[in-house]
Structure 1
Amino acid sequence: MTYRDLHEGWTLSAVGGTPVPVAGVAATVPGCVHTDLLAADLIPDPYLDDNEVELAWIGRTDWRYETTFAWSGAAGERVELVCAGLDTIAEVVVNGTVVGATRNQHRSYRFDVTALLRPGDNSIAITFTSAYTYAEGVRDALGELPNAYPQPFNFIRKMACNFGWDWGPTLVTAGIWRPIGLHSYSTARFDRVRPLVTLDPDGNGRVDVHVDVARVGTDVPLLVTARVGALSVTGKVTEGADSAVVELVVPQPARWFPRGYGEPALHELTVTLATTDEVPLDTFGRRIGFRTVELDTAPDEIGERFAIVVNGEPVLVKGANWIPDDSFPTRVDRARYAARIAQATDANLNLLRVWGGGLYESEDFYELCDAAGVLVWQDFLFACAAYPEEEPLATEVEAEAREQVARLAPHPSLVLWNGNNENIEGWHSWGWRPAVDDRTWGRGYYLELLPKIVAEVDPTRPYWPGSPYSGSMDRDPLDDRYGTKHIWDVWNRRDYTGYRDYVPRFAAEFGFQAPPTFATLRRSVSDDPLAPDSAGVLHHQKADDGNGKLARGLAHHFGPAADFDEWHYLTQVNQARALTLGVEHFRSHWPVCTGTVIWQLNDCWPVTSWAAVDGDGRRKPLWYALRRVYADRLLTVQPRGDGLVVAVVNDAATPWPADVTLVRRSLTGEPLATHVESVRVPPRSVHLVTVPERLAAAGDPARELLVASCGQWRRALWFFAEDRDIDYPAPDFAAEVTPAEGGVTVTVTARTLLRDLVLQPDRVDPAATVDEALVTLLPGETIRFQVTGLTTAAAAELTSAPVLRCVNDAGRLPR
């Protein structure tokens, strides 16, 4: 058996007329048309300024990839052309003969080319029909269905966000986007290997390895051997059969745990196929993890729980939604996945939700999550639209789902399959019903087909029909008492303090926008000067009335920004405060609310969005806020009734004995009232400390704050007024820059209160990063920012605005 990549020598040509002649351009495989045209310097970078608009013709064009290769095969072998991913509507021709057609980006394909190959030079041509042409044709045949955007993404099995989203560009791709090659084999090969990994009640691990084989001209018996560590078991694919199950028991294996609950132990599984005289034919290998996972939806006094339970323990989910990390996915390699997942774990996240308008990600993504103990919630790929259940889509949906469920079955990090994103809510609440009438819209997928496939192909994992969803089509999908909740009236219509109006069972989507870091914005937009409403900045704002919502968000707390630098800083502060308030509120209601999955971790290009990590991979201030609010141990001041409480949140495995010190202070630092209470918070629980009335009410709300602390830096602050009404002192501090390994240390000592101090070294050098942000210092306190990628030559720029600034900078707020 041999496998040979066919990644060299490809050329790209347009089929038909184009604004830019494209014929025989060198192509990179895997890749896509946009990246090939960009590499050939035939188009400008679609991520810069408004270049995206002038490149819309690419998605409306048909394209052909061609290559030649030398071949000399062995007699008796079958040779298959293996296409791991074609995007999307493709006809595949080998040596002038059509061998197959594809219409699903989310599937792989094999074509038998044994009879077509010849010694010497051979040719492959793959012609891609425009995704628009195909999708619009299906739409015209089946009838328009409602969706959130005026694009036909719901009529084609392709990455939906290629067609534009409220954070993404409209860049409709085509190309050979995953590996392609020739697989030669004799006798038999694995067609599919599906290990189902479970734990028995006595703690023994069980691996049921389901194998399907493809044979070449023989029905002889075959041997299948499964091995984990030193243990192995051999079974037989009987004569004439094409499948078998091999069962392997591993006594008391080290279990796989999510972050914060134990080590994510992994074990090497190897499965081999051989003849009965032990001639090897094929091998499959994966790292697996032994763990149990359940979805607890038991009724309780409120409604029904929604808790992800791993190894018998409910997990407090601290998560974020994941979108494709680039509009051109082949640019996301293992190193980039690793960097993004490290940013997630460094911010104390334990779950990533792979959102339904994107992709089933590559093996790299899931393997890295396995190793890091990051839970994965995987949406099936349906988002924000009514989807037809007729042909030609129904067969594609079933084949795609069966392939992807089987492919991802070995990964212990994957703990939940979710039917769709917001489609049930759309049916219930977005006015779809008159437009849909008596036609299909996806319900059969979410309530019948997909749960059936998961039960058949991978019964070791739970399935949930959609998010948001309340467990029944007869309930409002946004009912706080059941299931998963998305909260978008906050951001769209209300101030972020509105998060406190909800206590959901599980908050699966909520977010607040901010622009990217300065270096990312400056690289992608050439406006001079930059302004919130300058042409390039507005083009990189895809949300409906996005900048208006940002302005209204500022108005609630700060009033209007004085200039661009202030707008940039304050909107980022507002984003971080919004998510901090929401997450802290929801965490304070554990175990009623069992998780938060903020929208969103990452971006696919440089854009103003809800992300914590921007399109160039830089951390926005929100990222630093998430690291604090997702810490295992958290103090937060919360309004309850007519007063205040301090929620002492302990998501650690050990008790938290804590002396909670409450001090009402003046902004100049003088203590006005004090209370100390000793508590012992059990593991995975929350304890509420009532704030005495003399501390919960300010004598002068504009000049006082409440400080709750356990030690110096684990603390929570409560201001009694909005920023626009607080009498902040002009900031007064000492700042010093000293050399440090890899960069410099910026030491700031406050002489006055400094609220939400942020150091933005990327304004000095785009390569510079800082270890902390959004630090509030009381008079006399010191913070040391560790900056990498800079030298002391930049010292003067690091100690003043706009690089170093806080909310109470002189002249910032109206007096």
Structure 2
Amino acid sequence: MLSDRIISLDGDWKLCYIENKRFVTEGRDISSIDAIENTGWSNIPAVVPGNFELDFERAGIIGDPFYATNAIENQKYENLHLIYYRRFTLDFIPDSNTRLVFDGIDTIADIYINGKLAGQTDNMLIAHEIGDLPLKYGENELVVHIRPTVIEARKYEVPVSCHAQPNSYELLFIRKAPHMGGWDIMPRMISGGIWRPCRIVQRRPDRIDDLCVYVQNINVKDGWAGLTFFYNLTVAEDEIRDYSLIIDGSCGDSKFHAETKRLLHTAGKLGAHIGGAKFWWPRNYGDPNLYDIRATLCYLGKPVYEYSLKYGIRSIRLERTSTTDVSGNGEFCFYINDKKIFWLGSNWVPVDALHSRDRSRLPKILPLLCDIGCNSIRCWGGNVYEDDYLYDFCDANGIMIWQDFSNACAINPQTDEYCARFSVEVESVIKRLRNHASLIVWAGDNEVDACYRWSGGIPSRDPNQNRLTREVIPKMLWNHDTTRPYIPSSPYIDEEAYRTGKPTSEEHLWGPRDYFKGNFYRNSVCHFASETGYHGCPSPETMKRIIRPEQLWHWYDESAGLPKPDWTAHAACFATDGSDGCIYRIKLMSDQVKTLFIDFRDDEAAMGLENYARASQISQAEAKKYFIERFRISKWRRTGIIWWNLIDGWGQISDAVVDYYGVKKLAYHYIKRSQQPFCLMFDEPDADGRIALYAVSDLCSDVKVKYTVADLTSGEKYESVCTGISDKSIPVWYKPIEPGEKHFYLIDWSYEYEGVTITGRNHYMTNIIDLDFNEYISYMKECGFYDEFEGF
């Protein structure tokens, strides 16, 4: 065996729980299983990885946490101490190389082994490895006491300079996923548990502790690259010269070999030159080639440890200006292997409010990125750091990753103690993820720079004084990863942007969320949109899974003057009395429907839930189609759009295009057409009253395209051919239109690419506002789009 020995501790545990006041008052010993079971406190079976809510549901204590107002009612359990325990057998004699590893504990925990305190944790977001363990051969006891986050948070005095959303102040000092206090897309579920796998690891005395790979130099044109391998080792023997390190790599017929004949220290560098190199490319731009790399540590010429990974060879560059203007005097553009890359992506938000289920959901969700035509995701800063499965998938499928650190919409403490705790997290995350080819850019947080401008009535402050993103993260990146760009915040308000107040080159386009072709969206000057979205009501099938029958329709309670409680809860409100600001999102969705369709303005309730959901999904689909196509039409004036978002993390009313249960909204299909590598799309009318048909291509070679534009309103048809289109956007036809006309155009095309006939379809409607609902539905049926509704 040339790797570490592992004993999994996943599976069946016991959970003892008690409210904080009783825990403190009774002061019972909980360091051993006998002591725990003698407390007389409640005790149920548990599963690890898990969250206590799932254990409670299995035990019949609570119902489905995602149904009705259960998420709000379960807030009464936030004061619980959670005591997980189990026995396990060790079939070897433990030594100084034996470790207890938790990939994720939520959050503040004391860990006991055989009645003795073995370690403590205070960060949900990273793995914890504990050594010097009081283990013994044979049967052992393990106790994990997780303290209530909301109680622990009260130990900290919050400086007036801090800021958080009203329901998230308890998370300012606690390192856990920011969304868990409640968000406009996620319920308040403070939760707790051993949420990722745990195990006993017997480290080999001779081992490779870390291997960092980076591109030293690269020449794509001539097909070669130089790699550097930085290693850290542990060895058992005094004489280091008796050890050697061998590194082999292969990607198809491209191979390399490098070795040290003898080592001089347990840390160092080893280089490899690769002729005939295969490079990693994002989707639409080439193959995401990955090298299988195996590092072998040898003692006296005999292998004693092996370490393997996959690595993609590529270069990254970001050309960015601080600000821009209406004339486009600015830039925000990524280059991979010295080639401009246009980003078509989705914001990656929590896939489950109860994070122990994340890993099991990923295999069904991630392929949707490829199906819908994304070449990128932005791992949003309100989330956990995702499972390795996601990063491996993105490496293998050419999906670029924008990775936020887990900070969002809050001004966290700037104290030395907090910075020190945060730096441990940052170092851990960097080391874990830095070898992934798909990880293109680090970002310090989500909207914290912007937060300094609107933080709860405190006068605007300079975000460049934020120690977390201007000091802690850059220092850790300087030490551990200088191979990719770093943006301190998204959007990033640097010194120039703060001083001048000019628009930044990268933005989040939310605004008033009114008519999707209104002034805010139409007049935005940014080059890169890393957030933008629009509401879409889930299908009736899904609404029935999350809302009680008596509240299903209409959404508004006339007697209370508020949306009905279940609707409020599933707009991600932490209360149903109107005190949570997120309640506006229900009326917002209704207003968006009424803006698009005149039928819903007089008596929305009479239209029924099914028609309402269809109308809302059409509104969302047309909005996101417009956002994406506006950016693609202006390629390279604009360089990317990361829309919000692919899938929900619980059953809710939201911007997602796939709901929690996997039911696609109409927008999924509209986006899929708008994100085809080659796509024909109409721009908005110009000053001469014409609409221009644009050919937009992310293909790396020219194609000859035959296309037809059918006006379904007038019956007219236009056919033509376009060519000379490669990795750009050009107008190919201009169509005069009448002022105020509402015509529905269906666009079809075909071309040959790499020996395959490709066909495509898109549509466009002029003056798409104040529509007749049934007329639009009739166009959908004629195009075959009506059958894309799911869950009706």
The TM-score bracket by the shorter chain reads: 0.7 to 0.9
Supply the distance in 2 between the matched residues of 1:730 and 1:168 (Cα, whole angstroms).
32
Match of 2:439 among 414, 424, 447: 414
Residues 205-214 or 370-379, more deviating = 205-214
Q: 1:340 aligns with which of 362, 365, 368?
A: 365
Residue of structure 2 equivalent to 1:809? none
- Aligned residue number for residue 792 of structure 1: none
Distance in 1, matches of 2:303 and 2:715, equals 82
State how far apart, in whole Å, the 2-side matches of 1:274 and 1:24 are: 50
Corresponding residue to 2:511 among 482, 489, 512: 489
Query: Structure 2 CA distance, aligned partners of 1:197 and 1:511?
Result: 36
Letter of the aligned partner of 2:66 in structure 1?
Answer: Y
Offset at residue 510 of structure 1 (A): 0.6
Query: For the residues of structure 1 that align with 2:541 and 2:164, how far apart are their CA atoms?
Result: 35
Deviation at 1:570, TM superposition (A): 0.5
Question: Using a 3 Å threshold, how does the CA distance of structure 1 residues 186 and 631 change in structure 2: closer, same or farther?
Answer: closer
Cα distance, 1:171 vs structure 2: 0.9
Q: Does the CA contact (< 8 Å) of 1:341 and 1:368 recur in 2?
A: yes
| Paired AA for residue 223 in structure 1 | S
Shift in Å, 1:377: 0.9
**Inter-CA distance 17–385: structure 2 relative to 1 (3 Å threshold):** closer
User: Is 1:661–1:710's contact at 8 Å kept on the other side of the alignment?
Assistant: yes
**5 Å matches for 1:711-730?**
714-720=761-767, 722-724=769-771, 728=775
The 8 Å contact of residues 12 and 22 in structure 1, kept in 2 or not, is answered as no
1:666: Cα distance to partner? 7.2
One-letter amino acid matched to 1:136: R
The answer to whether residue 17 in structure 2 is matched with residue 6 in structure 1 is no
Q: State the one-letter code of the partner of 1:696.
A: I
Asked if the contact 1:378/1:414 (under 8 Å) is kept, the reply is yes
**Which of 725, 740, 744 is the equivalent residue of 1:682?**
725
CA gap of 1:341–1:156, structure 2 versus 1, over 3 A, is: same
Shift of 1:608: 0.5
- Partners of 1:297 and 1:521 lie apart in 2 by 43
State the one-letter code of the partner of 2:7: R
Q: Report which stretch shifted further, 485-494 or 507-516.
A: 485-494
Q: What one-letter code is carried by the residue in structure 2 that aligns with 1:106?
A: L
Q: Does 1:26 align with 2:56?
A: no
Partner of 1:632: 677
Query: What are the residue-to-residue correspondences of 1:605-624 with 2, within 5 Å?
Result: 605-624=650-669
Find the counterpart in structure 2 of residue 742 from structure 1.
none
Q: How does 1:497-516 map to 2 (within 5 A)?
A: 498-516=520-538
- Residue 390 of structure 1 is aligned with which of 394, 415, 418? 415
1:224 to 218, 223, 245: 245
Aligned length: 729
Matched AA of 1:211: Y
Q: Cα 1:57–1:188, aligned 2, differ >3 Å: closer, same or farther?
A: farther
CA–CA distance in structure 1, aligned partners of residues 93 and 139 of structure 2 = 16
Question: Aligned pair 1:330/2:377, yes or no?
Answer: no
Range with bigger deviation, 204-213 or 594-603: 204-213
Q: Is the aligned partner of 1:399 residue 2:420?
A: no
Instruction: Say whether residues 1:101 and 2:120 are aligned partners.
Output: yes
**Deviation of residue 732 (structure 1)?**
10
Please give the alpha-carbon distance, in whole angstroms, between the structure 2 residues aligned to 1:17 and 1:318.
48
* TM-score (norm: length of structure 1): 0.83
Indicate conservation of the 8 Å contact 2:350/2:383, yes or no: yes
How many Å apart are 1:393 and its aligned residue?
1.9
Q: Secondary structure at the match of 2:549?
A: coil
SS in structure 2 of the partner of residue 166 of structure 1: coil
| Separation in structure 2 between the aligned mates of residue 145 and residue 418 of structure 1, nearest angstrom | 20
RMSD of equivalent CA atoms: 3.1
The answer to which of 128-137 and 7-16 deviates more is 7-16
The reply on whether 1:463 has 2:486 as its aligned counterpart is yes
| Aligned residue type for 1:318 | L
Inter-partner Cα distance in structure 1 for 2:779 and 2:209: 69
Contact 2:86–2:141 (Cα < 8 Å) also in 1: yes
> What runs of 5+ residues in structure 1 fail to find an aligned partner?
734-747, 764-815
Q: Give the 3-state SS of the residue equivalent to 2:110 in structure 1.
A: strand
* Aligned residue number for residue 257 of structure 1: 281
Is the contact made by 1:478 and 1:486 (CA closer than 8 Å) also made in structure 2? no
**Counterpart Cα distance in 1 of 2:15 and 2:522:** 54
| Structure 1 residues 670 and 212: alpha-carbon distance in aligned structure 2, compared to 1, 3 A threshold | closer
1:151-178 per-residue CA deviation (whole Å, 9 max, x = no partner) reads 1223211011111110111111212222
CA contact (8 A) 1:470 1:479 kept: no
**Structure 1 Cα separation of the partners of residues 465 and 49 of structure 2:** 32
Following superposition, the deviation at residue 479 of structure 1 comes to: 4.8
CA distance in 2, matches of 1:477, 1:121: 66
Judge which range, 597-606 or 554-563, deviates more: 554-563
Q: CA deviation at 1:659?
A: 5.7
Q: Structure 2 CA distance, aligned partners of 1:325 and 1:472? A: 35
Would the aligned equivalents of 1:388 and 1:442 in 2 still touch at CA under 8 Å? no
State whether residues 31 and 175 of structure 1, in contact with CA within 8 Å, keep that contact through their aligned partners in structure 2.
yes
Looking at structure 2, the residues matched to 316 and 572 of structure 1 have their Cα atoms a distance apart, in angstroms, of 27
After alignment, is 379-388 or 73-82 more displaced?
Answer: 73-82
Which structure would you say has the larger RCO, counting Cα contacts within 8 Å and 6 or more residues apart?
Answer: 2
Q: Which residue, 642, 652, 655 being the options, matches 2:699?
A: 652
Which residue identity lines up with residue 697 of structure 1 in the other structure?
E
Pick from 125, 134, 151: which aligns with 1:133?
A: 151
- Tell me the SS of whatever aligns to 2:214: strand
Q: Which amino acid aligns with 2:589?
A: L
How far apart are residue 276 of structure 1 and its match?
3.6
Q: 2:168 aligns with which of 114, 128, 151?
A: 151
- Give me the whole-angstrom Cα distance separating, in 2, the residues matched to 1:344 and 1:614: 14
CA contact (8 A) 2:663 2:790 kept: no
Quickly say closer, same or farther: Cα 1:4–1:502, change in 2 above 3 A. Answer: same
Measure the CA separation in 2 of the matches of 1:732 and 1:260.
31
Conserved in 2, the CA contact under 8 Å of 1:80 and 1:110? yes
Matched AA of 2:652: V
CA distance in 1, matches of 2:284, 2:87: 52
The farther-off stretch of 207-216 and 56-65 is: 207-216
**CA pair 16-535 structure 1, distance change in 2 beyond 3 A:** closer
- The offset of 1:623, in angstroms, is 0.6
**Residues 78, 216 of structure 1: 8 Å contact kept:** no
- Aligned-partner SS, 2:622: helix
Question: In 1, are the aligned partners of 2:20 and 2:81 still within 8 Å (CA)?
Answer: no
Inter-partner Cα distance in structure 1 for 2:502 and 2:354: 37
Please state whether the residue corresponding to 1:622 is helix, strand or coil: helix
CA distance in 2, matches of 1:420, 1:607: 25
Q: 1:701 to 1:200 in 2, by over 3 A?
A: closer
Q: How does 1:367-766 map to 2 (within 5 A)?
A: 367-430=392-455, 433-434=458-459, 443-469=466-492, 471-472=494-495, 474-475=497-498, 479-480=502-503, 482-491=504-513, 498-528=520-550, 530-531=552-553, 532-533=555-556, 534-542=564-572, 543-559=582-598, 560=600, 561=604, 562-639=607-684, 640-643=686-689, 644-658=691-705, 665=711, 667=713, 669-671=714-716, 679-689=722-732, 691-692=734-735, 695-697=736-738, 701=741, 704-705=743-744, 710=749, 714-720=761-767, 722-724=769-771, 728=775, 731=778, 750=782, 757-760=786-789, 762-763=791-792
Conservation of the 8 A alpha-carbon contact between 2:514 and 2:592:
no
Secondary structure, aligned partner of 1:10: strand
Query: Is the contact between residue 186 and residue 216 of structure 1 (CA under 8 Å) also seen in structure 2?
Result: no
Q: Which moved more, 1:1-10 or 1:93-102?
A: 1-10
Q: Which residue of 2 aligns with 1:212?
A: 232
**More displaced, 459-468 or 7-16?**
7-16
How far residue 367 of structure 1 moved from its aligned partner, in angstroms, is 0.5
Q: Tell me the distance in 2 between the aligned counterparts of 1:378 and 1:104.
A: 19
What is the SS of the residue equivalent to 1:546?
A: helix
Q: Aligned equivalents of 1:81 and 1:677: distance in 2?
A: 67
Equivalent in the alignment of 2:560:
none
- Gaps in structure 2 of 5+ consecutive residues: 24-39, 557-563, 573-581, 751-758
Identity, % of aligned pairs? Answer: 22
Which deviates further from its counterpart, 588-597 or 153-162?
153-162
Specify the code of the residue in structure 2 equivalent to 1:468.
P
CA–CA distance in structure 2, aligned partners of residues 15 and 9 of structure 1: 20
2:69 equivalent in structure 1: 50
1:313 aligns with 2:304: no
Superposed displacement of residue 338, structure 1: 2.5
